[in-house]
């Protein structure tokens, strides 16, 4: 399922959404100009105004070097096997050390419109175990703020 969405539509869609997960593909304008688009886990907070983003990357060795001197941080990289999600073409990780709380308006503004945004999976098509792995990794990360962890726990207490 590929949904190619305008940023105006995505803002309205998420603003009216209850809590839930999706996986979107877009180029973040806050990253380097030559950085390619990435898949992102989008966790809607169901409050009508904000979400949390976690980037999916195949640059695992780079992250391992970055987090090698931070006890526990490597445990917050969630491996993704291409057999679990058909649109992932190689082994990669979800970096749950840097979940980014962001408003829907800010979200629309970071999407590079020359690339646009594609929703690759929605809450019902994302395995519950993967959701649990993502939230657990965020909760145990030594880098994630207590505020972000508490916010997610208040919405996802069963994970």
- Give the pLDDT confidence score for residue 79 in this predicted structure: 93
Rounded to two decimals, what is the model's pTM? 0.87
Answer for the pair 23, 121: CB distance below 8 angstroms, yes or no. yes
Name 19's Cβ contacts closer than 8 Å, sequence gap at least 6: 43, 44, 45, 46, 155, 156
Structural domains present in the chain:
3-151 (2.30.30.110)
Average pLDDT over residues 126-141: 94
Chain segment 90-129, per-residue pLDDT in tens: 999 999 999 988 887 888 888 888 888 888 888 888 999 9
Q: What is the DSSP letter of 47?
A: S
- Give the pLDDT confidence score for residue 76 in this predicted structure: 95
What is residue 72's three-state secondary structure? Answer: coil
What tokens does 133 get?
Answer: 């792995």
């Amino acid at each position: 399922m590929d949904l190619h969405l305008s940023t105006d539509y995505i803002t309205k869609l998420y603003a009216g959404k209850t809590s839930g997960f999706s996986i979107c593909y877009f180029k973040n304008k806050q990253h380097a100009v030559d950085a390619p688009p990435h898949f992102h886990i989008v966790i809607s907070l169901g409050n009508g105004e904000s979400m949390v983003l976690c980037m999916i990357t195949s640059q695992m060795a780079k992250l391992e070097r970055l987090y090698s001197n931070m006890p526990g941080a490597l445990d917050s990289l969630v491996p993704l096997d291409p057999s679990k999600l058909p649109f992932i073409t190689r082994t990669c990780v979800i970096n749950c050390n840097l979940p980014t709380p962001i408003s829907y308006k800010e979200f629309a503004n970071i999407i590079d419109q020359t690339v646009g945004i594609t929703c690759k999976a929605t809450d019902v098509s994302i395995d519950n175990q993967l959701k649990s792995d993502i939230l657990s990794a965020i909760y145990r990360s030594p880098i994630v703020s207590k505020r972000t962890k508490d916010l997610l726990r208040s919405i996802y207490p069963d994970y």
